[in-house]
C-alpha cells in the first residue's frame, strides 16, 4: 500500500469482496467468469463489459486491494491490452455482446494484424486488400510480426478497401476469424529463443461486413486508437500475469498463477514491469551500489522512472477527462524503452562475468537475461523510437511534417511508389 492514498470506500469494498471470494482451488476459468460478472476484472471498464465504470484512480485502488488480498487477477494479453480498449471505443452493442465476454473471461485469444513486410513504420502504406463480395469482404495479403497469432481465435486487421484514395483514407479495420483455412499462420523464432510472433498469410480469407469496426474507410482512426493504447504504460489491460498463450481454464486458479509466474519470458517481464524487481535483487546480491558511478546511474534510472510516473499521471488525467490517450503518450513509450535499456545495462554490469552467461542457472534463474535479450524490442514494438519522436515533434510540438509527407498524404495510394 506504500505511496498510494486510499479512498477507503473503494479499497475496502474491493478488499472485502476479494477476501470473501478468492479461492485458489477454484478453476481459473470460473474465477475469471466471476470477476467478469461482478465487474472486478477491469474496474475502469464500463459496467456489463467486465468493469464497474470506476475512474482510473479508483480502479488502481481496487487493484491494490486485490494484490493485498493475494487474489489472482483477470486474464491479460493482447485481447485486453489492445483489442478491448479499441472495441470499447468503436464497437456497436452487438459487436460488444459478441466479443467482450470471450475477452474478459479469457476464453478467446486475439492477435494484432497491422504490420506488413513493406509497411511497419509507414503503416498507412499497407497493401493487404479487402474487396467487398455481397455481405462479406475477401482479404488477401501478408502480415508479419504478429504476436500470439499462433494461438489466436480472432485478429484485429487493417486492410485497404479503396486503393484510389490517399493512403490514410482508404483503410478499414476488421475483426477476423483466425481459424478459417484461408488464414495461414507461420511462427517465427526470435533471438530470445521464444516463438512470440508470426507471419500470417491471408489468401482470400472472409470477414462478414458486420465485423467491420468503426465503418468503411475509418481504419486509420481506429488503428491509431489501438496504437495509442499500445504505447500507454498505464493501460489497465496490461500488467502482471501477461499471458497471451491462452490458458487451460480447468486448471485451478492457484496452479495457473504458479505456472504463469514460473514461466515468465522476456516479453512477459517487459509487459509486467517485473524486471524492476529483478534488478533490485541483482543489485542486492552483487552489492551493486558499491561502485560510485553505478550508484549515480541507479539514481538517474530512478529519476527517469519518476518522470515517467509523472507523465503517466498527466496521461491518466486526459483519459479521465473523457478522451483516449493522445499523441503525448509517445513520450511515455520512448521513456519506457530508455528505462528498459538502462535497467538491462545496470543489471548485466552489476553481475560482472555472470552477465555474459545464458541459461536457467544464471542469476534470477535466467529471467533477467531473457528480459535483456528482449529489450531491443521495446524500441520497436508499437512503433519505433524514431517514429514516436516524429509523432512528438509533429503532433505534440507542432513542428513541420517530414519532407514530402504532406504531398504523399494527398495522392491516391495506388499512385505512390511501393516499398
Ligand X SMILES: Cc1cc2nc3c(=O)[nH]c(=O)nc-3n(C[C@H](O)[C@H](O)[C@H](O)COP(=O)(O)OP(=O)(O)OC[C@H]3O[C@@H](n4cnc5c(N)ncnc54)[C@H](O)[C@@H]3O)c2cc1C
First CA to last CA distance, the chain: 51
Residues that bind ligand X (CB under 6 A): 111-115, 120-121, 145-147, 197, 377, 380-381, 383-384, 386-387, 390, 402
312 contacts 335 by C-beta, under 8 angstroms: no
A 10 A CB-CB count for 233 gives 20
Instruction: Give the up-direction half-sphere exposure of residue 323: CA atoms within 13 A in the CB hemisphere.
Output: 12
Nearer to ligand X, 195 or 290 (CB): 195
Nearer to ligand X, 353 or 398 (CB): 398
**CA proximity to 39, closest of 57, 13, 19:** 13
DSSP letter string over 314-340?
A: HHHHHHHTT----TTHHHHHHHHHHHH
Minimum separation from the CB atom of position 317 to ligand X (A): 27
Classify strands 136-144 and 129-133 as parallel, antiparallel or unpaired. Answer: antiparallel
Distance CA 159, CA 204 (A): 12
101 contacts 48 by C-beta, under 8 angstroms: no
Nearer to ligand X, 96 or 373 (CB): 373
Minimum separation from the CB atom of position 83 to ligand X (A): 11
DSSP class of residue 49 equals T
Q: Residue 298: CB partners within 8 Å, gap ≥ 6? A: 283, 288, 289, 346
Minimum separation from the CB atom of position 362 to ligand X (A): 22
Nearer to ligand X, 90 or 145 (CB): 145
312 contacts 401 by C-beta, under 8 angstroms: no
Pick the catalytic residue from 63, 199, 230, 328. 230
Residue recorded with cell 481506429: 222
- Find the Cα–Cα–Cα–Cα dihedral 306, 312, 317, 321, rounded to 10°: 180
Minimum separation from the CB atom of position 189 to ligand X (A): 13
Minimum separation from the CB atom of position 103 to ligand X (A): 16
Minimum separation from the CB atom of position 227 to ligand X (A): 9
Residue nearest to ligand X (CB): 120
Minimum separation from the CB atom of position 419 to ligand X (A): 8
**CA proximity to 319, closest of 88, 83, 18:** 88
Nearer to ligand X, 249 or 380 (CB): 380
Q: Is 204 a catalytic residue?
A: no
What is the three-class DSSP state of 77?
A: coil
146 contacts 164 by C-beta, under 8 angstroms: no
Minimum separation from the CB atom of position 395 to ligand X (A): 14
Distance CA 327, CA 325 (A): 7
DSSP letter string over 19-48?
A: HHH--TTSBHHHHHHHHHHHT-SSTTSPBT
- Residues annotated catalytic, as ranges: 230
Amino acid at each position: 500500500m506504500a505511496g498510494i492514498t486510499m479512498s477507503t470506500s473503494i479499497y475496502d469494498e474491493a478488499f472485502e469482496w476479494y477476501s470473501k471470494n478468492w479461492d485458489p482451488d477454484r478453476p481459473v476459468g470460473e474465477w475469471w467468469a466471476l470477476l467478469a460478472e461482478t465487474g472486478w476484472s477491469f474496474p475502469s471498464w464500463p459496467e456489463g463489459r467486465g468493469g464497474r465504470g470506476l475512474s482510473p484512480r479508483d480502479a488502481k485502488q481496487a487493484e491494490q486491494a486485490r494484490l493485498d488480498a493475494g487474489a489472482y487477477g483477470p486474464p491479460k494479453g493482447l485481447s485486453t491490452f489492445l483489442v478491448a480498449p479499441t472495441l470499447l471505443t468503436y464497437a456497436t452493442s452487438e459487436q460488444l455482446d459478441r466479443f467482450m465476454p470471450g475477452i474478459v473471461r479469457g476464453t478467446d485469444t486475439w492477435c494484432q494484424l497491422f504490420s506488413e513486410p513493406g509497411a511497419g513504420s509507414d503503416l498507412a502504406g499497407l497493401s493487404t486488400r479487402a474487396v467487398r463480395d455481397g455481405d462479406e469482404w475477401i482479404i488477401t495479403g501478408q502480415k508479419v510480426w504478429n504476436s500470439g497469432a499462433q494461438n489466436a481465435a480472432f485478429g484485429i486487421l487493417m486492410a485497404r478497401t479503396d486503393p484510389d484514395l490517399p493512403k490514410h483514407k482508404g483503410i478499414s479495420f476488421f475483426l477476423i476469424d483466425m481459424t478459417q483455412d484461408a488464414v495461414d499462420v507461420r511462427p517465427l523464432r526470435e533471438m530470445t529463443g521464444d516463438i512470440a510472433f508470426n507471419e500470417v498469410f491471408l489468401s482470400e480469407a472472409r470477414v462478414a461486413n458486420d465485423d467491420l469496426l468503426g465503418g468503411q474507410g475509418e481504419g486509420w482512426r481506429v488503428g491509431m486508437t489501438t496504437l495509442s493504447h499500445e504505447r500507454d504504460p498505464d493501460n489497465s489491460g496490461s500488467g502482471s500475469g501477461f499471458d497471451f498463450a491462452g490458458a487451460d481454464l480447468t486448471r485451478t486458479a492457484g496452479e495457473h498463477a504458479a505456472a504463469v509466474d514460473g514461466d515468465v519470458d522476456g516479453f512477459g517481464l517487459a509487459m509486467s514491469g517485473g524486471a524492476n524487481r529483478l534488478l533490485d535483487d541483482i543489485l542486492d546480491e552483487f552489492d551493486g551500489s558499491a561502485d560510485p558511478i553505478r550508484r549515480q546511474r541507479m539514481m538517474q534510472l530512478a529519476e527517469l522512472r519518476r518522470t515517467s510516473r509523472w507523465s503517466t499521471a498527466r496521461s491518466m488525467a486526459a483519459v479521465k477527462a473523457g478522451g483516449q490517450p493522445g499523441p503525448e503518450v509517445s513520450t511515455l513509450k520512448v521513456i519506457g524503452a530508455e528505462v528498459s535499456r538502462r535497467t538491462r545495462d545496470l543489471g548485466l554490469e552489476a553481475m560482472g562475468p555472470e552477465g555474459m552467461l545464458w541459461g536457467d542457472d544464471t542469476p534470477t534463474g535466467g529471467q533477467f537475461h531473457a528480459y535483456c535479450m528482449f529489450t531491443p524490442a521495446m524500441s520497436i514494438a508499437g512503433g519505433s523510437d524514431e517514429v514516436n519522436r516524429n509523432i512528438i515533434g509533429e503532433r505534440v510540438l507542432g513542428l513541420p511534417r517530414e519532407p514530402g509527407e504532406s504531398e504523399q498524404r494527398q495522392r491516391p495510394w495506388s499512385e505512390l511508389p511501393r516499398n
